[in-house]
Amino acid sequence: MEPRSRFPLYLQVLVGVVIGSLLGMTFGKDPWCFGLNNADLGTLGMLVVRALKALATPLILVAILDSFFKTNVSARSGVRLLAVCALNVSVAMGIGLVILNVVRPGERWAGHLEALASVAGKAPDAVAGATLSPLKNFAAFIPESVVEPFAKNLVISIVLVSVLAGAAMRATRDHATGSLVQSMATLEQLVEAAYAVLGRMLLMVASSMPFAVALIVADVVGKAGIGVFSALWVFLVAIGSGLLLHALVYYPLLSWGVGRISPVRYFRGALDAVVTAMSVNSSLATMPVTLRCLRLLGVRESSARLSACVGTNFNNDGIMLYEAMATLFLCQALGYAMSFSQQITVVLASIMAGVGIAGIPEAGLIILPLVLGAAGVPEATVAVAIPLIVPVDWILARIRSGVNVLADMVVAIVLDRFEPA
């Protein structure tokens, strides 16, 4: 078990957040040192995040291959993974629907959209080929070449290739004869070494995270400022409350009731990973920290990898809940009455969006127009509504990433509970 630092990563990251916030509020968009401004700092900080994502995808490959060599990744474990993920997202959507239908916060924006437009930001560019069609999304998961998933960071495609390769390698090893036995033993050692080296590389890059966080936060605060909250607080509180209820109430109860890990221990063990994810706005880039936190919680490596590597795209509760709540909120603000069946359509569209967009920066906001379209909102209205939430989405995006990491961890804890000793 790895020793815990006297100055934990989450405290280092929080110091970076404070420093970055001070720089952002003090200098805004103005240059402050050798012609550099906060936007330049953000660009530098994102290089660390880019490096983490670049290393995380090959780590997924070797982690899954190593798991097939060392443990029996059974179909039953895969079914359990999908069942726990389905339970989690069902609870998340239930929370969102209750808040939106009982409190109806979107109606507070009704008749005030023109005033809110004065603080609207610029919507991010759409992703080419983004769709809510299950068939088209599944077809996109099948790569045209073996290198394509790694070149484009296509996580689900990497998982599919890795599972296929791992199953084939295990079957080959189990039925090997003659010189092939030694060859497979050598291959197994190479995979184990590659996993150890990549994991160490990722942790080395992650050690610079507090500095990167300070630079990124300076850029974000410098651009958005803090004045936008006076106009957009209703949206921020409504969506944030749904995300936090799911993450801070449901997850610890599931961890405690099924995984036998108390809420205090669960949050203490997850703290480094959650703060890192919220700082860099990426659960994928946080994966090495997530795996380390799970080891510190005593979760077996096989369960940790199954959840954080194989199931990462299905644990996107944060994005899925955000898509559904944001869509229903905006529909209320626009005066669109939605029946229960229409709300279920939004929920299903949100789930499909959450499964299909991992690894895309600002994925939740980019895919929102598709979910709004599924709700029947005209394109012209979508073009007006999306920029309204851009100024505060940077906060919600980080909360989403934290929720996604907590989902990875609680799924691993639950899966581990049912694995044989």
- The answer to whether position 18 is within a domain reads yes
Q: Which structural domain, as residue segments, surrounds residue 102?
A: 9-418
Strand partners, 33: 36
DSSP string, 287-334: HHHHHHHHHHTT--HHHHHIIIIISGGG--HHHHHHHHHHHHHHHHHH
Radius of gyration of the chain (CA): 22
Ranges in the chain, pLDDT < 50: 1-4, 119-121, 123, 126-128, 359
In whole angstroms, give the CA distance from residue 67 to residue 29. Answer: 48
- The answer to whether position 3 is within a domain reads no
Give phi and psi for 33, each to the nearest 5.
-155, 115
- The answer to whether position 204 is within a domain reads yes
Which pLDDT score, from 0 to 100, does residue 108 have?
82
- Half-sphere exposure (Cβ direction) of 126: Cα atoms closer than 13 Å: 12
- The answer to whether position 300 is within a domain reads yes
Which letter does DSSP use for residue 5 in this model? Answer: P
Which pLDDT score, from 0 to 100, does residue 120 have?
46
58 CB-contact burial (10 Å; exposed 0-12 / middle 13-18 / buried 19+): middle
63: CATH: 1.10.3860.10
- The answer to whether position 1 is within a domain reads no
CB atoms within 10 A of CB 192: 15
- The answer to whether position 237 is within a domain reads yes
Residues 6+ apart with CB under 8 A from 104: 332
- Half-sphere exposure (Cβ direction) of 312: Cα atoms closer than 13 Å: 33
- The answer to whether position 4 is within a domain reads no
Domain count, the chain: 1
- The answer to whether position 2 is within a domain reads no
Q: What is the pLDDT of residues 290-336, one digit of tens each?
A: 989 999 999 998 888 888 877 777 778 888 899 889 888 888 887 88
Q: What is the pLDDT of residues 360-398, one digit of tens each?
A: 555 666 677 777 777 777 766 676 677 677 667 778 888
Enumerate the H helices of 225-300 as residue ranges.
229-245, 251-257, 263-280, 287-296
Which pLDDT score, from 0 to 100, does residue 132 have?
53
